[in-house]
Amino acid sequence: MTKGFTTSARENRLSLWVSVSFLWGTIFYISSILILGVISDYSGGYFHPALSDSVKAYVFYALLIFVVAIGGYFGNKLYDPTGEKRQQRINAVTAGMREQVFVSFVGSIATSFVFGLMTALAFWFSHLTFNIAFDMPLHTVLIGSLANILAGIVGSLLTGLVFLVLKATGRFPTSEVAS
Query: Residue by residue, what is the 3-state secondary structure of 20-82?
Result: HHHHHHHHHHHHHHHHHHHHHHHCCCCCCCCHHHHHHHHHHHHHHHHHHHHHHHHHHHHHCCC
pLDDT tens profile 18-52: 998 999 899 999 999 999 999 999 998 889 999 99
CA gyration radius, the chain: 19
CB count within 10 Å of CB 144 equals: 27
Model confidence pTM above 0.75: yes
pLDDT tens profile 86-116: 788 777 766 766 655 666 778 888 899 999 9
pLDDT at position 10 over 60? no
Q: What backbone phi and psi angles, to 5 degrees, belong to 139?
A: -65, -35
Confidence band, pLDDT 50/70/90 cuts, at residue 178: very low
d(CA 24, CA 42): 26
Q: Are 61 and 119 in contact (CB under 8 A)?
A: yes
pLDDT tens profile 159-174: 878 877 877 887 776 5
